[in-house]
Every structure is written in structure tokens, then in C-alpha cells.
Structure 1
Amino acid sequence: MNRTFLLLFAAAFAMAELPAQPSRTLFASDSSLIIVPFRDRSGFSGRWNIALDIPRFLTAYVKERFRAGVIGPQSVAAFAAQNGIDSARMHDGFFLRAAAEEFRTRYILDATVEEFSVSRFMVSEVQLAGYEAFSATVKLTYTIYDAARFGVTGAAPVVYEGEAEGTVKDRGLGLTLFGKRTDRMTQFFSLDELAFGSEQFNRTILGEAMFQCADELSKRLERAVPELVSRTVVLSGAVVIDTAGADSSSIILKRRFVTGEVVIVDGDEVFLNVGTLDKVGPGDVLTVYIPGKELRDPATGELLGTGDEKVGEVQIVQVRAERLSLAAILAGKGKIAPKQKVRKVIVR
């Protein structure tokens, strides 16, 4: 047990104050973010430990999306256990700061699982036939902390607080005959037998809801933690996140870029030349950009290329063909024009 940590912990609670502000040079590791185990208020009673499994999934997702170092919840839980800190106290400001110093990582993501559910709706005539549909929801409330601000007078450590949600509804109603169990019904009743984050899990309606939630959260992280955004563009590949501390499986996610152009602008909507071949879907948000400033080698003055200037964002409403989607303008109305480029990083 780390004696120094325990002495500091006791002193902090006895004096009801935090120690002096740590130097920012403490946060010098290659990791950009710590994701701690979450609180669980969802009422979920299945086999998964979602207080650990959801942040495990997000660790894999953020690491792959941004190609950034992320300290996962297993490491944080192990650090807490070594110092006699139970799960309830892992969300205290003092512990979060101590974890940041231990892992030399400045930014911290803490969250509460508010909802984690999958439901089945069925209308039928007994012993004859019926129609079934499914829906899944993952909802988090989260806080992003800057550990360099803990204990600083007039500097709040909270960078951002918000919600992230993924909701997927299976609108294609499936026909059931004479009470026979369909493949989807079988999957529904055996869902939590799948390893959380496995390829099989990720193909389910609950897996899709997890990806939606992770995408929404990542867009906020990108703004709140600029260090996450990598300058290195990697077009393909996969990363395996070691989860031996949680179970015997690994979460394997792949990262790819979707690129295209604005075809037509019609008021608040645009048509894009991306579609089913690009594996985009309703709800996906793409960045619209134009060529920006010239980039030159500072040593030689040689022209290296041009940067990108963000114009706005659009959200896909409907995928209409292999290379055609309708999207709503979220930001940049009046600036978005035909032939401007669009792109999105998709992790699956």
C-alpha cells in the first residue's frame, strides 16, 4: 500500500481542503485522458458489469478514434484497490487528482450510467402471428476534469458537464408465425451471454446504441481536450485493448475515414455523395471543410500542402443510395456550398 498516498488522503479529509496546486509538468505522460469506472444508476441487472464495461468500451473507442493514449478503468480501479479506496470514493476530487498524478495524465472523464436498456415490443394474435420490434438506449451523464486546476483558487476543475445518449430503434417490424421464436428474438433473450464489446455484441442493436453514445461523447471530448486530436492520419488498422483485468475477452475496434463532397444545398438541407457503400447511417455527423492556409516547412520554407478550414457540420437524415444521402445542416448555414469536402472518422 502506498503510505504517502494514504497520509495525503487522511490529511485532505481532516483539513477539508486539497494540497497545493501540482505543477503541470507532472502531466507529462503519453496519455491524454483517464477514464475512471462509472457510477451505475440504470437498474440494469444482467451479467455485465456495466460500471466497468461501458468505460472499457469507451477507452477502446477513444483510443482508436483519436489514436491517443488513454488510461482505462481497470488501471484506475487497481490503483484505488492498492490504496484502500472503495468504488464510492473513486469519484472524489482528491482521488481523481491523485490518479492524475499517478498516471501523469491531466484530463479525466467520470460519468454515471443513467440508462442501459434493450426492450422488445410485440403485437400478436395468440398462437397465430405477430409483429415484433426492438429498441435499445444507452444514456450517460458525464464530467470532464482538468486535474491541473484542482486546488487552484478561482479555477474550477470542471471543463465540461453534459449528457451522451445512443438510442436505436429497429423500425423494420419482423413477422413471427405461430409463436415461433425468430432469430432476433433468440438474440434478444441471450444478449448478455455475449462478451461486452465483442464483434457479435457490436452487431446487435445494443452495440449500435453504444457506438452512437460513444460518438456523441467523443465529439465533446474533441472540443474539451484538444490534446486528443492526433496530427497523424491513419487510414486503416485495428487496436486491441487488453481487458484481462475485467474478463477474458478483448474489445477490438477498427477506425476508418469516410470522405465525400456536398452535391446540392437546399435551404437547411444538403445532399452528399456518400451512402450505403460508405456504411454511413441516419444520425452520423460529418464535418464540412475547405482548403485552408498553406503549410510550409519552417526550416526550408518548402510548401508542404494546405491545411483544412472547417466550414460547418451536417447530420445525415436519410441514406438514399450507394452514393447519396440527405443531411441537415447543423452549423455553417450560408457558408456550406457544393463541391466542399465532407469527412467523418467512423469506429466500428
Structure 2
Amino acid sequence: MIVLTPNRRWVLTGTTLAMAGVAGPVLSQDRARYDGLKKTIAVDLFRATEAVGGSVTADGMTAMLIQALVEDGRFLVVEGDGGPMAASALVRGAVTKYEAAAGGSGLSISGGPLGGLLGGRAGTRSQTAVIEIALRLVDTSTGQVISTSSAEGRASSRTTEAGLVESYGGARLGGEIFRTTPIGQAGQDAIVRAVEQIASGMRRVTWSAIVVDAGPSGVYLNAGTDRNVVPGLTLNVWRPGRTLTDPGTGEVLDVEMSRIGQVQVATVRDRLSIATVTEGGEPMRGDVLKTD
């Protein structure tokens, strides 16, 4: 296969990957169908300097984490411009260690027919790639960090190649190719481990939904079968009040919440549910519904 890299160099490469110590992309296949209430979560773009692969690594790791969380089945992953605001928690990740060729060996031949024309090379090599990520789980309502964690991934490969650049430089490869390289597979390994750490942190987050409308016909909330809501679910209604911020840093310290009543879900649709008031005052658009 011939690949045109972002720096417009041609690479002719054929690759066979042999994974070592990698959990693989299988996430939800071995997990029984999750029937609990799904909490909402958003994923911020990974931070990755040029030294750790730059934008290709950032885009690749972000896409893999989103896919992993979706396949896991315990969360509703929210994307787009309104994602972080609509989610209960936001994951912020950074690549802290990046070794595309942490170890390995191989045979390389320079020159030849390809070298005579383009100054290329051909050969066979084996490599081990290592990547480490640091994660922060942030409460979107307060900006406070819920938990921090890190995960390391490793992968190895055996490759036959002919080309002009390092086959696994990471940043020199397109986003789609990134995940098929040893460094991308090492990233996948780290992501698999990270999902469990994120799930552990999410246990500290209370399930919540938002009132989108309320009136004589009922209280409408922005959660339905997509979040495993079922008829009969009882939710407390909270009304946001003052937002308390640190005058020095502007950091949100807390949001005052007043409990105004309780509702019970009567009808469930795909992305919407209708509830009736069972206690207290009438909810308003923007009120928060919680299980606590």
C-alpha cells in the first residue's frame, strides 16, 4: 500500500501486527447488557504536544476513548459544542509518555531499485510501542475534579516495509492509520484500562436529568430509553441558585441547589420521559432531577 504522509513523503509499507499484553478493543462484548441508569459523560480533546505525536495523537486518542465509552454501555456519551454542558462529567486527557519504538530489532537494506529512484529503504523489523495517558474526571456543574488516574499501554509488531520515513512515527500518519500502528494499539491498550478507572470515578457522580418543559400535561425530562429510564422512577427536583466562584481564580466552587419537590416517571420515549408531580411545587424548565 502507498501512503502519502502529511509532510508529502511517500511510504510503501506492508504490516503485520502482533500484539503483546494488549487487552484489545473488545470492551462491551464480554459485559452483560447494562440495565442501570446511564450517566452522561463528555470527552474533551486530548492534550498532546509535538513531542508526543501532536494533533494526530490527540485526535486518535480522543476518538478511541469516545468509541470505548460508547461500546462499554454504561454511559451516554455526549458530543458536539454543547456536549460538556449537557453532560454530568467531562473527561480531560493528556498523553504523558510516548515511545513509538521503545524497543525492537530488524533488518534494513538501503538503496536498491527503490533507493535508486527515491533514496528509499526496505527491510523487516519488530517494535514495541509504549504510551501513557493521564486523565481527570471533572464535574461539569462545579468545575471540580472528581478523580484523577493514569494508564499505560503497550503493543508490539513485526513489519515488512519499504519507504522513506519511519513507519510508526505516529504524528506523520493520518488519524485513521494511527489506530492500526503499534503506538495506536498501545493507545488502545491504555484506553481499555482507562475506561474502568473512569467508571470508578463516575460512581461518585449522581445520575441527573434536566426539566425541558413543565405544565398541565406533565413534567418533561431529557432522558428516556437512551439512558435506561423506566416508568415508576422517582426523582427529586432541585433548582439551581447562586453560583459561588473564587474571586481570585474565577473557579466555580459550588452551586447552591434548593430541593423543591419530587416527580415520578409515567411515560418513557427514546430520548424523553414524562413525569407527574408527587410532592412539592411545580418544576420549571432548567430544574435538575436527581436520584438522590
Q: As a proportion of its length, which structure holds more helix?
A: 1
Higher normalized contact order (CA 8 Å, seq sep 6+, divided by chain length): 2
TM-score (norm 1): 0.37
Q: As a proportion of its length, which structure holds more strand?
A: 2
TM-score (norm 2): 0.43
